[in-house]
Amino acid sequence: MTVFKAFLKILKKNKGTIIFYTLLLVGISYFNFSTIESTRSFEQVKPKVHIRDNDNSTLSKDFVSYITENSEIIEIDNYGEALDDAIFYRDICYYINIPENYFDDLVNGKEPSIEVKKVNDYNATFAERFVSRYIRLVDFYKNQVNNQEDLVKLVRSNLENTVEIEMTTKLDTMGLLKLSAYFDFANYAILASLVFIIAMILNSFNDLKIHRRITISSMDYKTHNKYLLLSNLSLSFVLFIVYILGAFVVLGDTVFTYHGLVCVINMAIFIVCSTSLAMLIGNLVTNKNAIGGLINVIAIGSSFLCGSFVMQQYLPNSVLTIGHIFPSFYYIEANDLVQKIESFSLDSLSPIIIDNLVVIGFTIVFIILTNYVSRKKSVIG
């Protein structure tokens, strides 16, 4: 009880930080989402596609023609950042880059690849069906003719007889996008507020006089850490409730759907992990100024590298590879996977369960390291 009272006393001094980051999370999320109109209309529209043909063969030209017939072709003046921006702002949902000699290599039995960039929605899935359908037919008929002109005729003949596929998904794709985006950005708010406050509170317990009193008391370091962990989890629970209420303000009833429930569970597991990380930092670092700098590095760094500010699907592979060292990566990946679930089953939830198990693994490691550090510091120097 003494530990808990001291914890609450120090917490009161830092309540402004909690309020600031809560308002930041809700405010930025509300501002970003207020311009997005959620829609439940399922009227079929042509996907917006940009295609670049570096092959210029008979097959590639017919392929471009086929995609053009079934898509809305969007021109982009420059590549690089302009292309990434077009995908990010959903000016296009699918980008196709046909390399040189692609269809020649495909006809000759090689396994060439087309460069593709896409957004995560049903329009991009629709566009991908057109691409894969054409390429599968080329691969199927390639041994039946001797030139590309005849191959085009066979492919076209089959395409004209193919029954049109209608997308019947009833997912609120925009609502799910906003759901995952809110919980993704919560990564930064949780690390910047919760971890900072807990680390600062624990740092106060590391004051030399207080540390010596604890060391000579009848309470061993494991019991002391247990009380601190329970106190920290109490703060974590309050912050968790506040962020869920913020999600309701921003997202409405979406939070109470099965998709929302999965994101809430993801956040609960991540908050426990963040609490254990804060305890480790609070025990390792004794300088309060250093704690502030370290938390900024962890919060901002993991948010950039793991997809909190920019969705993981838009980040380079090299960045994502580095992001794997943070529990934030698996928390954010689990939130992003929620968008793709059309029906809930063990198979559809398995990737999310695995991500959460990894986060739990980080939690266990942080707790073990915290106890190890506390045991080493339990001897008065």
Q: What is the pLDDT of residues 56-105, one digit of tens each?
A: 999 999 999 999 998 999 988 766 678 888 888 888 999 999 999 999 99
Each domain of the chain, given as residue ranges in start order, spans: 2-36+172-377, 48-160
So what's the pLDDT on residue 163? 47
> d(Cα 289, Cα 280) in Å, to the nearest integer?
16
So what's the pLDDT on residue 42? 41
Per-residue pLDDT tens digits for 293-331? 887 888 889 988 998 888 888 788 888 899 999 999 999
Contact 122, 90 (CB under 8 A): no
CATH code matching the domain that covers 48-160, chosen among 3.40.1710.10, 3.30.465.10, 2.30.30.90, 3.50.50.60:
3.40.1710.10
Q: Is the pTM of this model over 0.75?
A: no
> d(Cα 73, Cα 95) in Å, to the nearest integer?
10
The pair phi, psi for residue 119, each rounded to 5°, is -95, 170
> d(Cα 116, Cα 97) in Å, to the nearest integer?
6
The 8-class DSSP code of residue 252 comes to G
H or E element at residue 73: strand 72-73
So what's the pLDDT on residue 14? 64
| 10-residue mean pLDDT series, the chain (381 residues) | 61 68 68 50 69 92 92 81 82 91 90 88 84 91 88 88 53 80 88 78 64 56 69 83 86 89 95 89 78 82 88 84 94 91 88 96 92 70 46
So what's the pLDDT on residue 278? 84
So what's the pLDDT on residue 350? 94
Residues contacting 50, CB < 8 A, separation 6+:
73, 74, 75, 76, 83, 86, 92, 94, 95, 96
So what's the pLDDT on residue 176? 84
Largest CA distance in the chain: 90
Task: Retrieve residue 62's tokens.
Answer: 């017919």
So what's the pLDDT on residue 77? 74
